[in-house]
């Protein structure tokens, strides 16, 4: 009797952890504290930059290996090279269409709102020396050189340099080789799976210092540039944030809806990663977590393993919005005439250069330099005008990049019928309460 009554008793709902243990809250609190320290004690704030740098390096340390393990296990487990090729083609078509739309939205918005008009900046005051050597790119990559650079000189050099594209190329080739071995590949896959689990343990451990990293990164930014110095350029920041919102509403939300899931629910599910990139401005800092969560959403491992790393290299929605906004803003602020014909030519160049720096961490300024060098309308030296607010704008475009990459992975998975719809909606409705 007692046993029967016990069996019929519904289990209590799982208890939520206190809010202060939630990683999202901790990162937001760290960012708020960082703003305060950077504004009140700028000398201290400038010394806190290593906190963010160490965190990003810890993540970068394992990102290449995680890409290798994810791609290898996902592709080799499928053993269907035709399917892999089909996924890659669909993904690249999606990337090119959506990034092109992003560039168009960026150009239209900056021309309508015109935040740089009336600034009357004297171009003679902007010297090339204002752009540091590490931010400069000597010349734009041609198509041939870009294709050559896809292939690493050696497998080890790809991992040593942290070049995402080269790691991806080697991983795909290695995985395809394993896929042809059939059952003989199983021992290797077991080793890869074991290595992958060890790497994710490292990531879980490193994530415990994410709030401290966000605190240090924001404190340095505010201390280095100051809140007051950013006010004159606030119009550009506001315009860019609005452009990102427009992109979410007009592009990502309809794409998500047509694929059968809610963009807002997806962003809630990925909230820890999205907030973390706001603090660190580094997309690499959340790659391992995105891989895990997208798989947990019911997306087939082979799709996640191929689409997400490729999206990191080719699907830069937010970065394209940034390039379009900043290039036209520089022309407006310095009174440089830039007609629609020149802007369309600029768009064509951006479609190439936005991919050319894909494997370089924090490459937006470098690629922007490359883009301006490829045109004769806007001198490269004028980038100095936006260096002070680049860090703030990078948080917005990396946020948009990450959201766009998550949507892209789900969309391609949906096209391939490689998404467990029941698991997807169950997970999105749950909101992923665990950190």
pLDDT of residue 7 exceeding 80, the answer is no
- 122-136, 283-297, 402-416: which is most confident: 402-416
| Domains detected in the chain | 42-430 (1.10.3860.10)
CA distance 435 to 432: 8
* pLDDT tens-place string over residues 48-75: 888 888 887 887 788 788 878 877 877 7
Q: At what angle do helices 271-280 and 23-40 cross, to 10 degrees?
A: 20
Q: Taking 60 as the threshold, does the pLDDT of residue 434 lie above it?
A: no
- Please identify which residue in the block is written with the tokens 């490729």: 310
Reported residue count of the chain is: 435
Around 178, how many Cα atoms within 13 Å sit in the side-chain half-sphere?
A: 24
* Nearest alpha-carbon partner for 98 in 275, 253, 279: 253
Give the Cα separation of 162 and 360 in Å (integer): 8
- Whole-angstrom distance, CA of residue 245 vs CA of residue 407: 15
What pLDDT does 52 receive?
A: 81
pTM of whole model > 0.95? no
C-alpha distances in Å from residue 426, one per residue of 9, 421, 431: 24, 8, 9
| Residue 342 CA neighbour count, 13 Å, CB half | 14
pLDDT, tens only, 337-390:
777 877 877 777 777 666 644 444 455 766 676 667 666 567 766 776 776 677
pLDDT digits (tens, 9 = 90+) for 226-267: 766 556 678 888 999 999 999 999 999 999 999 999 999 999
């Amino acid at each position: 009797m007692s046993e029967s009554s016990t069996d019929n008793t519904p289990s209590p709902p799982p208890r939520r952890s206190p809010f202060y243990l939630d990683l999202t809250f901790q990162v937001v609190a760290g960012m708020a504290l960082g703003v305060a320290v950077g504004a009140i004690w700028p000398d201290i704030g400038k010394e806190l930059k290593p906190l963010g740098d160490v965190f990003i390096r810890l993540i970068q340390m394992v990102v290449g290996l995680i890409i290798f393990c994810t791609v290898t296990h996902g592709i080799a487990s499928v053993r269907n090279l035709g399917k892999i090729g089909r996924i890659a083609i669909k993904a690249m078509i999606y990337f090119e269409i959506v990034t092109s739309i992003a560039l168009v939205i960026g150009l239209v918005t900056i021309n309508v709102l015109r935040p740089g008009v009336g600034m009357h900046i004297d171009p003679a005051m902007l010297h090339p020396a204002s752009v540091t050597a590490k931010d400069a790119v000597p010349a734009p990559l041609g198509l041939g050189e870009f294709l050559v650079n896809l292939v690493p000189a050696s497998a080890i050099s790809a991992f040593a340099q942290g070049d995402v594209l080269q790691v991806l190329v080697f991983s795909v080739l290695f995985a395809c080789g394993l896929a042809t071995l059939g059952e003989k590949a199983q021992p290797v896959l077991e080793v890869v799976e074991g290595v992958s689990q060890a790497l994710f343990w490292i990531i879980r451990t490193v994530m415990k210092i994410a709030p401290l990293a966000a605190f240090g990164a924001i404190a340095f930014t505010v201390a280095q540039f100051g809140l007051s110095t950013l006010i004159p350029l606030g119009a550009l920041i506001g315009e860019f944030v609005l452009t990102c919102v427009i992109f979410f509403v007009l592009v990502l939300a309809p794409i998500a809806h047509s694929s059968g899931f809610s963009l807002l629910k997806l962003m809630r599910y990925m909230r820890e990663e999205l907030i973390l990139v706001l603090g660190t401005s580094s997309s690499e800092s959340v790659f391992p977590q995105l891989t895990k969560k997208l798989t947990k959403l019911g997306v087939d491992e082979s799709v996640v393993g191929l689409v997400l790393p490729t999206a990191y290299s080719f699907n830069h929605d937010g970065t394209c919005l940034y390039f379009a906004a900043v290039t036209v803003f520089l022309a407006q602020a310095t009174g440089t005439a830039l007609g629609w014909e020149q802007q369309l030519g600029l768009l064509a160049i951006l479609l190439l250069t936005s991919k050319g720096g894909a494997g370089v961490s924090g490459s937006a300024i470098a690629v922007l330099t490359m883009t301006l060098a490829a045109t004769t309308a806007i001198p490269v030296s004028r980038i100095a005008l936006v260096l002070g607010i680049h860090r703030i704008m990078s948080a917005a475009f990396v946020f948009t990049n990450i959201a766009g990459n998550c949507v892209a992975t789900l969309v391609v998975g949906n096209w391939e019928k490689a998404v467990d719809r029941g698991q997807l909606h169950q997970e999105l409705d749950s909101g992923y309460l665990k950190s």
